[in-house]
């Protein structure tokens, strides 16, 4: 990626707002799918996933993982063979032109969330990150943005998806700026922060003000006062 900064035009800000709202809605939808799969895989209606997994039989836990491996392997193989497009956000931002295949990103995200819900440790943030970035790529291509603007929009969408899932707008903005774009310059931080904050707020509304996944839990190393700062409204 070059050191060229994207022009923050009114059109770019409008697309950034659309991307933030989409990242919030898509992230919430993926977390709803994740919760549904977890309930089906481990057979519980209330309580936490940890409790459900602990009380599930060993055979059920093993079977869930085996089915997840088979489903994920077949689904990803078919996606790679039949649906064109890229799904690597880092590659699209750092070495590419900000182009991601939207249909393939949707398929990849859904498969990823399903196998995570069945117990595979892939990280639940990967799918919302990809969907936020893919939507940014889609609208950036539609609006014929410059390469620099499209890269920035894709990175902001990815960070916004991350922020929505874990209810961490500041961390989502820092993820965008430091990890995806490698810059803490104001033309990078401002849109990254705006996108992450809006997406997180949309996630709150989508989940009746309760985010789908807490940023941290109350433990001896994470007292209630700290959790109150990283999870507003707890």
Is-contact 154 139, C-beta < 8 A?
A: no
DSSP H stretches of helix in 43-146: 49-55, 58-82, 89-94, 102-117, 126-142
- Structural domains for the chain: 10-230 (1.10.3080.10)
Helices (H) and strands (E) in the chain, counts: 10, 0
What per-residue confidence (pLDDT) applies to 194? 97
What per-residue confidence (pLDDT) applies to 227? 35
State both tokens at 50: 């940890």
Report the chain's C-alpha Rg in angstroms: 18
Q: Give the span between the Cα atoms of 157 and 70, in whole angstroms.
A: 30
Band of residue 93 on the pLDDT scale cut at 50, 70, 90: very high
CA-wise closest residue to 161 among 115, 191, 126, 193: 126
Range from 43-47, 60-64, 175-179, 187-191 carrying the lowest mean pLDDT: 43-47
Predicted TM-score of the model (pTM): 0.84
What per-residue confidence (pLDDT) applies to 232? 36
Geometric angle at alpha carbon 28, from 27 and 34, rounded to 5°:
90
Task: Select the more confidently predicted residue: 107 or 121.
Answer: 107
What per-residue confidence (pLDDT) applies to 3? 52
Is-contact 133 172, C-beta < 8 A?
A: no
Phi, psi of 49 (to 5 degrees): -60, -40
Query: Cβ-count burial of 180 within 10 angstroms (0-12 exposed, 13-18 middle, 19+ buried)?
Result: buried
pLDDT over 80 (residue 47): no
pLDDT over 70 (residue 208): no
Q: Give the span between the Cα atoms of 104 and 223, in whole angstroms.
A: 41
pLDDT digits (tens, 9 = 90+) for 124-162: 899 999 999 999 999 999 999 999 999 999 999 999 999
Band of residue 230 on the pLDDT scale cut at 50, 70, 90: very low
Within 13 A of 229's CA, how many CA atoms are on the CB side?
Answer: 6
Mean pLDDT of 58-66: 90
């Amino acid at each position: 990626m070059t050191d060229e900064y994207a022009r923050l035009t009114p059109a770019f800000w409008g697309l950034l707002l659309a991307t933030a709202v989409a990242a919030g809605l898509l992230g919430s939808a993926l977390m709803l799918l994740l919760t549904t799969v977890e309930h089906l895989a481990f057979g519980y209606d209330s309580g936490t996933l940890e409790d459900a997994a602990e009380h599930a039989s060993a055979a059920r836990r093993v079977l869930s993982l085996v089915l997840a491996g088979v489903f994920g392997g077949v689904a990803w193989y078919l996606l790679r063979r039949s649906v064109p497009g890229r799904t690597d956000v880092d590659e699209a931002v750092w070495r590419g032109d900000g182009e991601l295949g939207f249909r393939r990103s949707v398929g990849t995200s859904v498969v990823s969330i399903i196998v995570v819900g069945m117990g595979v440790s892939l990280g639940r943030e990967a799918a919302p990150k990809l969907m936020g970035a893919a939507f940014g790529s889609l609208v950036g291509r539609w609006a014929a943005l410059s390469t620099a603007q499209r890269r920035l929009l894709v990175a902001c969408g990815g960070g916004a998806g991350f922020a929505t899932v874990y209810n961490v707008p500041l961390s989502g903005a820092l993820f965008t700026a430091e990890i995806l774009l490698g810059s803490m310059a104001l033309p990078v931080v401002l849109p990254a922060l705006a996108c992450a904050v809006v997406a997180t707020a949309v996630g709150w509304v989508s989940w009746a003000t309760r985010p789908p996944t807490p940023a941290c839990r109350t433990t001896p190393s994470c007292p209630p006062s700290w959790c109150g700062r990283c999870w507003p409204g707890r």
